Amino acid sequence: MPPRVRFAPSPTGYLHVGGARTALFNWLHARQTGGAFILRIEDTDVERSSDEMVQGILDGMRWLGLDWDEGPEVGGPHAPYFQSQRLDRYRAIAHELLATGRAYRCFCSPDEITARRARVEAEQGGWKYDRACAALAEADIRARVDAGAPHAIRFLVPDGTTGFDDTVHGRIAFANADIEDFVVLRSDGHPTYHLSVVADDVDMEVTHVVRGDDHISNTPKHVLIFEALGRPVPAFAHVPLILGTDKKRLSKRHGATSVMEYARQGFLPEALFNFLALLGWSPGNDREIFDKGDLVEAFSLGGISGGNAVFNPEKLEWFNQQHIQRLPAEELARRIEPLLRERGRWRDGFDAGDRPWLLALIELLKPRAKRLHDFADETPYLFSSDRVFDAQAVAKHLHGEDARATLAALADALRSVDPFERTVLDAAVRAFAADRGLKVGAVVHPARVALTGRAVSPGLFEIMELLGRDRTLERLRSAPIT
């Protein structure tokens, strides 16, 4: 049977990079093996869950290209995929455990438990539920239930040890003596996480559970429930934590942790995908740049390392730069259109006759672009007729009668350059400097400030070409000389 994996976020927050990486490993495993990738929303904590967060998670996954085969908005044979809509099923399973003697009703109130716990902890140190209710007589239980006494349902942990083979960490075993009889159904009829997650993994026929390391200590409880239900125990792969560069658990202190925040900051989904895949997984060689298809081919759960992974934002930026290089200008034009529109720099002609101009600009900026925003923001003077003059650049390069005369003469010389293209302009400017006995820099620097307002810009001749003859001559002539 092809593998069935799931990503099971609790919608109590946006999709953060840790969750996205877990989703991504699951997705890669499904796509590589021809299995199914299920998205299940674990929204049993009604107070802390919200539709907005669910939508945010779906948006983040779609943006990253993590499409799911079963789940919200897609449906599937095991719908619904929201735990809040499956409560009856959890109650039924809790009752199945009761009926088979693998669980018992617990009438202890939280206050009673707190008091007993305080006493035991003071006397002996550790506490686990003392099984007070495991010994109740059947008639007593019946009478209490008939009287409507509130009660939880606890799993009866058997003697022995419970272990599992973790694809990442190897064999992990726990002494059952260290596991208390945990609650599976609360007195308000709500399941605990342990019950709902196992019930769903059973019903949805999940074969591989790939999730965060922080769940390792929960897993023996889950194994016990699977076994008690007489259902096959899935394979487990617990993925190590993501740390910040200071080796502390990744949090907002380290900068953006939301996937959609990276989208807003001009990162490509391809780059974040590539970067996240290599956070804790390795192809077994030095290769770093992968597209999604390559990753699907190269991925294996066995390549996930047991050590914690470090999230390095500079490395992410490097990946972004690499993936920007790999996109054709036409594709980049589509991606930056919303940014240009937002900034009022979009012209209708960009969809028509001015398209080649936009593509040429993109080609010019591409080699140094780290984020999509660079295309929209690096050269405002090419989109607008006003240039903003940098005072230092003006003071350094635009002063004195010489500068005025040089720029005026350059404008005259460029009148007849034909075609008005970078290589021809390059030759013309050099010839102009030589004629006047000037160093090339003595022409190029003032011209750059005159055209862009700045001392630093992409190639001057490319800028001239993109400005075109009229605007170039006009800007050379109207430069503010101090």
- Applying CB under 6 A, which residues contact ligand GLU? 8-10, 42, 197, 211, 215
Determine whether 252 is an active site residue: yes
By C-beta, is 219 or 472 nearer to ligand GLU?
A: 219
Residues 6+ away with beta carbon under 8 Å from 341: none
By C-beta, is 68 or 350 nearer to ligand GLU?
A: 68
Q: At what angle do helices 400-414 and 440-452 cross, to 10 degrees?
A: 80
d(CA 417, CA 425): 7
Beta bridge partners of 105: 153
Amino acid in position 312: N
| DSSP 8-state assignment for residue 177 | G
By C-beta, is 220 or 453 nearer to ligand GLU?
A: 220
- Residue 319 CB, nearest approach to ligand GLU (Å): 26
CA 141 to chain centre: 50
Beta bridge partners of 95: none
Q: How does strand 309-310 pair with strand 242-243?
A: parallel
By C-beta, is 197 or 376 nearer to ligand GLU?
A: 197
- Residue 102 CB, nearest approach to ligand GLU (Å): 21
Torsion of CA 412, 413, 415, 418, to 10 degrees: 180
- Residue 216 CB, nearest approach to ligand GLU (Å): 11
d(CA 102, CA 97): 5
- Residue 209 CB, nearest approach to ligand GLU (Å): 6
d(CA 333, CA 22): 31
Q: Given 248, 252, 370, 439, which residue is catalytic?
A: 252
d(CA 221, CA 163): 10
The encoded tokens of residue 176 equal: 């059952």
- Residue 7 CB, nearest approach to ligand GLU (Å): 7
Beta bridge partners of 7: 39
DSSP string, 219-274: HHHHHHHHHHTT-PPPEEEEEPPEE-TTSSBP-GGGS--BHHHHHHTT--HHHHHH
By C-beta, is 211 or 397 nearer to ligand GLU?
A: 211
- Residue 183 CB, nearest approach to ligand GLU (Å): 17
By C-beta, is 215 or 335 nearer to ligand GLU?
A: 215
Q: Which residues are catalytic?
A: 252
